Amino acid sequence: MIGVVQTAVSLDVRGVRYAYPDGHVALHGVDLNVSRGARVALLGPNGAGKTTLVLHLNGILSPTEGSVSVGGLTVTPDRATLAEVRRRVGIVFQDPDDQLFLPTVAEDVAFGPANLGLRGAELAARVDEALAAVGMGEHRDRAPQHLSFGQRRRVAVATVLAMHPEILVLDEPSSNLDPAARRELAEILRDLPVTLLMVTHDLPYAAELCERSVILDGGRIVADAPTLDLLNDAPLLTQHRLELPYGFTPPR
């Protein structure tokens, strides 16, 4: 089984402030704590700071002030620490083609673990495990570019799962999926035994997969509550430019 590091907290963001070189402050003292195994949606309008925050989780960006810890390990610029942090934080990008670049599905999934030094039977088992988790084992020898978009997204998830991450970060996982592929991915994500942080504008998907949601706006966390509570707060959604799709009424 794909496992996680046995710590009580997967993600601990404390007082993170970040200013870009041009002086624009994208994050204003963000605090966020995510327990191991939790599923949290990160919501907010464009320009709220969501991407900036995500890039702090694996050390691509370093906070101007504050700290980020993943599974008890504080993110620092030290090379060994960054390597371990980037194993622990698996980011699945919105476009799967950003992560798939080798001739076959199996080679793409093996790439990360091989870079960790895995070889032979251990590497093969890691690949088999990850592909089985996303229901793509029968496509292991196919070229990724010959798969449907939904299948490529599932393989992209597998490339991250093969690293045995502490936390799985998904950037708009439902975007550009047809209804069947959207449902299939939800079924897969629901069963994964990892901590999940999902960045999304798809409020029904957040309701389906995440028991808790956080709204980030203007570089600040402005709401943190059970997802259904937030989605039933129409004035709050309107204030932060979040809209439910026509015809969708969240359960109470």
What does pLDDT average to in each consecutive run of 10 residues of the chain (252 residues)? 58 97 96 96 96 95 96 93 94 93 96 94 97 97 96 97 96 95 95 95 96 97 98 97 93 85
Spatial contact of 90 and 161, defined as CB atoms under 8 Å apart: yes
Three-state DSSP class for residue 24: coil
Domain ranges of the chain: 9-239
DSSP bridge pairs for 33: 12
> What pLDDT is stored for residue 252 in this prediction?
83
d(CA 182, CA 252): 23
Cβ neighbourhood burial of 238 (10 Å; 0-12, 13-18, 19+)? exposed
The secondary structure element, H or E, covering residue 233 is: none
> What pLDDT is stored for residue 6 in this prediction?
47
d(CA 250, CA 210): 13
Amino acid at 130: A
| Number of residues that make up the chain | 252
Spatial contact of 93 and 82, defined as CB atoms under 8 Å apart: no
pTM for the full predicted model = 0.92
Which letter does DSSP use for residue 172 in this model? S
Indicate the CATH number of 9-239 among 3.90.1300.10, 3.90.79.10, 3.40.50.720, 3.40.50.300: 3.40.50.300
